[in-house]
Amino acid sequence: MSRLQTERALFQLLSISLVNMSPDDLPAYDAQTWLSLYKESKKQSIVGIVWSAVEKLPLQNQSLPLNIKMGWYGQVYLLEQRNITLDGACAKLTEKLESISFDSFVAKGQSLSQLYDEPLRRDCGDIDLFVFPRQSKFPRYDLKIEYIRRKIDSLGLKKLGYIVYHHAEWEFDHIPVEIHFRPSFLTNPWHNKKYQTWFERQVESRCWSKNRGYYSPVISFNLVYLLQHLFFHLLFEGSKLRQIYDYAILLKHLAKIPDADIIKAGACATIEEVGMGRFARGIMWVLQQTCGLPAAHLIMEPNKKLGEYLLHEIMESGFYGKTDTRNSQNRRMKRFIRRARLFHLFYSEIAWDIPFRLWHWWWRRTNQIKYHWPHLEK
């Protein structure tokens, strides 16, 4: 089976998992095809999601060789255990943060898995925690970050890495934890200012609710935040089908909410305001092609031409461009080539990348001297 045929088969399995597309029309795959599907699922971090679709196939289509089936099932079992561990860690961290008068919520990963039919089968990594001190406002942002750093250190978490514009790294129970001060960033300063202002409004409205022992952001927050996260990764580092499936799950659940149209309108206005409208329309087409998401669930009209280009990038690059074999193996060179390749599509964001990085280097260096923050290690 060719690479294109493998991708089509993978998209069919994702559609079975997301929208319960009938599996009866799928052909019976041979051993080599199953091996290709398993490898591609691992590359795209959707092993558990695709396995759930495989379990729905008629017996005549479950022609997996025993060695692939056992290896796949083993990966899913380990994934489920890992998710149980992370859920417990999120609940413990929430308690610790409440003990020092911090509000918090878990972004992406564990909070998003709650939307899945089988939450333990979402591929997981580290923990992303947004934290908000309950004390009065800080006159400068660096003072707020320094206050958060000292309070987190007082909890006894192991310091892993350096502090950057939007987060710092710690470790809890051998699990990497990113403590976020900001959601992320856009390199275009005008778009970024609007994005950060939107985030502050979300925080003021307490855009989170508690479930499974920790807090998760509401769907209106995720509609913008997850798209921006995908936007940043695809432009500068590379992304995976897992991120696409996450957004498809989000829109599937949005359709079930009574005031979905109001939430959708607000999210679309923000997406346009921060310069991601064109990107969002391309992603809408990708969601339809890869996950079978119905047109009624989309929040914008799909852009087929741009969507085809974005889908090709996703399938070739992988997360952080690790599986991209089109160019240099050097990570910095890969990022440079990626920017050059996508510049004509998203120049208003990519053109500001180098100025932002120069400012960020100065900002980080200044605060390293002022507050003795850890030095950049990579």
pLDDT confidence of residue 125: 85
- Bridging pattern class, strands 175-180 and 127-133: parallel
pLDDT confidence of residue 56: 86
pLDDT confidence of residue 323: 58
CA distance 337 to 319: 16
Closest CA to 192 of 133, 200, 338, 234: 200
The residues that bridge with 168 in the sheet, in sequence order, are: 163, 179
Summarize the confidence of residues 167-178 as an average pLDDT.
Answer: 92
The residues that bridge with 214 in the sheet, in sequence order, are: 211
What are the residue boundaries of the structural domains of the chain, listed by start? 1-64, 88-216+350-378, 218-345
pLDDT confidence of residue 378: 42
pLDDT, tens digit, 9 for 90 and up, residues 87-127: 999 999 999 999 999 999 999 989 999 999 999 999 998 99
pLDDT confidence of residue 116: 94
Summarize the confidence of residues 219-226 as an average pLDDT.
Answer: 96
Give the tokens for residue 64: 């997996």
Assess whether pLDDT exceeds 50 at residue 337: yes
Give the tokens for residue 62: 């479950």
pLDDT, tens digit, 9 for 90 and up, residues 24-68: 677 778 888 899 999 999 999 999 999 999 988 876 556 788 899
Tell me which amino acid residue 142 is: D
Out of 135-144, 188-197, 270-279, 348-357, least confident range? 135-144
pLDDT, tens digit, 9 for 90 and up, residues 286-330: 999 999 999 999 999 999 999 999 999 999 876 555 556 555 566
CA distance 315 to 301: 22
Assess whether pLDDT exceeds 60 at residue 81: yes
What's the whole-model pTM score?
Answer: 0.93
Residues 320, 284: contact at Cβ < 8 Å?
A: no
| Three-state DSSP state, 166 | coil
CB atoms within 10 A of CB 285: 22
CATH number for the domain running over 88-216+350-378: 3.30.460
